[in-house]
Amino acid sequence: MQLATKRVTKVAAPDNQLNRPSPALYVVLIFVGISALLPFVWMLLASVKSFGDYIFVDFSTAKNTLRSFWPWVPIGTDGPAFGNFAEAIRRIDLSSTFRATEGYPLFLRQWMNTLVVAVITVAGVLFTSAFAAYAFSMLEFPGKRVLFILVLTTLMIPEELLLVPRVIMMYEPLRPEQAAGVDAIIALIPRFGWQNTLAALTIPFLASAFTIFLLRQYFLQVPKDLFEAALLDGAGHLRYLAQIMVPLAKPAMVTTGLLQFIYAWNEFKWTQLVTRDLPQRTLSVSLQNFLQTDGGAEGQLAMAVAAMVVVPIIILYLFTQQYLVEGVSKSGIK
């Protein structure tokens, strides 16, 4: 009986094969897979090598090749140098004028900073977008069309065009005596004085036209009858949004939230421009600074810092890859 059903499903299932997979394909795939992973593996191995082992890269003999990857016992005499992580963190402290006055290292502070920035932007974007998407899909109000077109228009404005003016908007506000001497039009530019603050890294990124658009598409698919039923149960718009719409749009919220988190974690350009003091900076900028100082000379320490930047995001990815890969392949979002 079981066999019979199995055969039926097999026949009914769409046959996507162009031909039977040949062993050669597996060889190609394994080669490509190794190429994709090798830099990560190399980074992790190098991050716990001593400097001497780090510069030993020789593939001329099998023994040396093995040692280039794995210099530790039983091939070598030492164990992995896990102290590299602590040493790298210490060097980041030393390389800056910032002293560990607050009792914990600069790198840890930057790590936390990055996490806070990422969490705030993700939460902010999902919050503002869910409300806006709800208004655009469920409520009637004058100016709905115009405002929606406005949102779609901002979708087309490239971030790069906004970089320089946004930096100027982060400048210190003009003092009254300065404002008098400044050109009237230039004086109109709002200056928030957020340079070097958490506000500069989060507030400009709390809304996303793309997320609004995506969530609106989801909300529109929910039958209106559901709302009528909820209304009879005494629910208002707020409760309907929180208890029905948001759970229904969970796949979209998770995918965009994750991509937003990854984007914030990896962000570099903007943070480099609007932060000056090291404690305010995030991991990507910290890593780049380190590469130009100690990390440039001692590759194993650079790898240790890179690993501390990358590994959390890889772990997050491994737990959520189902959502991410599916979400991206379906909607083609970037």
Partner 1 sequence: MSSLARLAPRRQGAKRKRNEAILAYAFLAPALVALLVFTILPLIIGFVISLSNFRVVFRDWVGLDNYVRALAPDSELWPALGATLTYSLISVPVQLFLALLLALVLYQKLRGRAIFRVIMFLPYITSTVASAAVWARLYSPDTGLINAIIRSVGGTPQKWLLEDGGVFQIVASALHITNWPTWLNGPSLAMVAVLIYTTWVFVGYDMTIFLGGLGNIPSEMYEAAKIDGAGIWQLFRSITLPLLSPTTFFLSLVTFIGSFKAFNHIWVMTEGRNGTNTAAIETYRQMYQFQRAGYASALAFLLFTAILVITVLQQWYGNKRVNY
Sites for partner 1 among residues 165-204 (CB under 8 A): 165-169, 182-183, 185-186, 189-190, 203-204
**Distance in Å, CB of 76 to partner 1, minimum:** 17
Does position 57 interact with partner 1 (CB under 8 A)? The reply is: yes
Residues in the chain: 334
Q: Which of residues 129-148 bind partner 1 (CB under 8 A)?
A: 129, 131-132, 134-136, 139-142, 144, 147
Give 29 or 119: the residue with its C-beta nearer to partner 1: 29
Query: How many Å apart are CA 50 and CA 64, to the nearest integer?
Result: 16
**Distance in Å, CB of 301 to partner 1, minimum:** 11
Does position 29 interact with partner 1 (CB under 8 A)? The reply is: yes
Other beta carbons within 10 angstroms of residue 218's beta carbon come to 19
Kindly tell me which residue out of 31, 104, 268, 319 binds partner 1, with binding defined by CB under 8 A: 268
Q: Which of residues 87-116 bind partner 1 (CB under 8 A)?
A: none
Query: How many Å apart are CA 146 and CA 165, to the nearest integer?
Result: 25
CB neighbour class for 323 (10 Å; exposed up to 12, middle 13-18, buried from 19)? middle
Residue with tokens 């930096």: 167
CB neighbour class for 199 (10 Å; exposed up to 12, middle 13-18, buried from 19)? middle
Give 102 or 315: the residue with its C-beta nearer to partner 1: 315
**Distance in Å, CB of 317 to partner 1, minimum:** 5
Give 214 or 309: the residue with its C-beta nearer to partner 1: 309
Query: How many Å apart are CA 188 and CA 92, to the nearest integer?
Result: 40
Kindly tell me which residue out of 6, 58, 63, 104 binds partner 1, with binding defined by CB under 8 A: 58
**Distance in Å, CB of 20 to partner 1, minimum:** 8
Kindly tell me which residue out of 227, 273, 279, 323 binds partner 1, with binding defined by CB under 8 A: 273
Which range binds partner 1 by CB under 8 A, 56-64, 70-78, 87-95, 247-255? 56-64
Kindly tell me which residue out of 36, 180, 232, 297 binds partner 1, with binding defined by CB under 8 A: 36
3-state secondary structure of 249: coil
Contact 110, 287 (CB under 8 A): no
Does position 33 interact with partner 1 (CB under 8 A)? The reply is: yes
Other beta carbons within 10 angstroms of residue 1's beta carbon come to 5
Nearest-CA neighbor of 264 among 126, 85, 164? 126
Residue 214, both tokens: 């995506």
Q: Which of residues 279-318 bind partner 1 (CB under 8 A)?
A: 283-284, 287-288, 291, 295, 299, 302-303, 306, 309-310, 313-314, 317-318
CB neighbour class for 287 (10 Å; exposed up to 12, middle 13-18, buried from 19)? buried
Residue with tokens 């936390």: 112
Does position 164 interact with partner 1 (CB under 8 A)? The reply is: yes
